[in-house]
Amino acid sequence: MEDRLSSLPDDLLHSILCGLPLKHAARTSALSRRWVPQWIRALATSPVLDFTDWDFARGQPPARPAATVDRCLRLHAEHGTPLHVSHVALVSVSPSGPGDGAFGRDVVWWIAAAVAWGAREVEVDLTTSQEEDAVPHADHGSAAFLELPADLFRARNYQMQGLYSLKKRIEDAVVRVEMTASSALELEEARRIKQEEVLRKRNLWDNPAKSHETLSALADAIRVVDHLKDLCFKAEEAKLISQLSEMDAINGELFKQAYKSSVDASEYLDRYQMHKLLKGPYDKEGACIMVTAVSDGVASELWAAKVFCMYTSWARKQGCKVGLIEKVPSKNGHVRSAAMEIESEYMFGILSGEKGMHRMTYSSLENSDTCQALSARVDVIPLFLDRPINLHLDDNDIEIAPTPCEYKKRDSRNCAAVRVVHKPSGVTAESSGERSYFANKLKATSRLKAKLLLIARELGVLDMKMITKQAIEDKCKRETRRYTFGPQKLVHDLNTGIQLSDLNLVLEGDIEQFIRGRIIARQ
């Protein structure tokens, strides 16, 4: 006889099996292998688990029905479906009662699993009898009490506390989005419309540089508007899921998704508000951060490498688009200097306050009263992502080393860095991460121009030849942050006055407090 039921759609088979008792649903697997995942799916998604049918365990050793109940509970937990009711009724053939019999240890697990997964009604009925065909609830059966652990319901309490905490955070994030994102969206829409009007009135070929600036501003406004619209949508979705959770209409995974959306929304608002504070001429550009050991010696070079690792860890945690990373080795085999290019927008504005001396102080082992210090110099320059640097330098004012001939003579074991020096000011820049001499020369020259632009702006001069070496030395010696390793660990940021005692956490890249504090203090 042809099995016509097996040809039905999966959803229809699932609906049929959901209305059948467990024993009948399991028997459908005899029809076809296709029915096996269907009745397992029906079991895993059912809000009610009922094992009170005597035929479920008739003629079987106690371990088999107990294993079936155990497997069903675990299967239900794996699918994350809320459980409302759990009923178990079995016969224990142990004469000493259910507390010490075949199901004694299993009962604790059954009740704990059902309660932890949200069951509002849990019933375990064990009838003790020496007769193998005894039936639960029979008059001749003898009942006994099973003592349960005092912390049985602790898992459920922890789960409820965790859900309440997540729900509170979701609600706080939604309120923040509703208060901030709507007004920000109106502002950005107005900015987009304004840029479109400017673009319509301007001939793109009259001033290509100005047109490029307008097009970039328009693209930025459109991107921000799209992000804010998506933000409002995610907030509404999280709010709806949070409301449905009160009616047990969703599972835990969907609730976690709502929480993740709320966290993403808060983080984007943090970035958006921070970017609005960055209004400098180069703040929107990417950044190249360079760390150099101030003095020779292994200790100084190791400290410079540690500071550089702090910034690479920070960039990784922030999800930044990191481009070129280059390290120049020293004679000791350690790092003399290192550079990292971050190609994400607003990175220069965010990291520009890190420029300066980062000094480590520690006590000598021989004399604890004597403090020693090591310094690493940090330079941060803008990385122009979509436009060239508009600065002309006289060839006579630039010195490049090594020469192309000297560069070719170096073997792969030696440093292949190209160094460019601005002779009037003594400002230097180098590059070693490119594959050719010409590419490294261009990169080093671009970095030199970026340095000179910043110095000229800070000193208020227009002619690069007016920049003096003494003024640059005073700027370079400015201390930015002090790291105290002993006797008491402390990180003191001199720009903001912020002090943190968790030195290791800071060196692992947790420098957000310093960055935010400096940006706010700059306003």
- The structural domain count of the chain equals 3
Lowest-pLDDT range, 83-92, 228-237, 254-263, 496-505?
83-92
List the domain range (segments joined by +) for residue 432. 347-376+384-522
| Shared-domain flag, residues 366 and 479 | yes
384-409 pLDDT tens trace = 877 778 788 888 888 988 876 666 66
Tell me, what amino acid is at 449?
A: K
- Report residue 484 as tokens: 């105290």
Pick the last residue of a domain from 110, 136, 156.
156
Please give the residue that has the higher pLDDT: either 99 or 396: 396
| Shared-domain flag, residues 174 and 260 | yes
| Shared-domain flag, residues 508 and 360 | yes
Pick the last residue of a domain from 247, 277, 307.
277
487-523 pLDDT tens trace = 788 999 998 999 999 999 999 999 999 999 998 887 7
Q: Is position 284 within any domain?
A: no
Pick the last residue of a domain from 104, 133, 156.
156
Interior/surface letters 209-244, b for 16+ CB within 10 angstroms, e for the rest: eebeebeebbebbeebbebbeebbebbeebbebbee
Please give the residue that has the higher pLDDT: either 96 or 448: 448
Q: Residue 520: is it exposed, middle or buried by C-beta count within 10 angstroms (0-12/13-18/19+)? A: exposed
- 45, 253, 286 from 78: Cα distances, Å: 10, 11, 45
Distance CA 84, CA 114 (A): 8
The model scores a pTM over 0.75: no
Grade residue 136 by pLDDT with cuts at 50, 70 and 90. Answer: very low
- 89, 102, 146, 196 from 200: Cα distances, Å: 78, 84, 82, 6
- Dihedral (Cα; 61, 64, 69, 74), 10-degree rounding: 150
Side-chain half-sphere exposure of 158, counting CA atoms within 13 A? 7
29-45 pLDDT tens trace = 566 666 666 666 666 66
Which pLDDT value is given to residue 80?
A: 56
Tell me how many degrees the CA angle 430-436-440 measures, rounded to the nearest 5.
20
Q: Residue 175 CB: number of other CB atoms within 10 A?
A: 12
Q: Is position 149 within any domain?
A: yes
Tell me how many degrees the CA angle 254-255-259 measures, rounded to the nearest 5.
115
Which pLDDT value is given to residue 140?
A: 40
* Secondary structure in 3-state letters for 416-437: CCEEEEECCCCEEEEECCCCCH
247-257 pLDDT tens trace = 655 556 677 77
| Shared-domain flag, residues 14 and 38 | yes
| Shared-domain flag, residues 163 and 151 | no
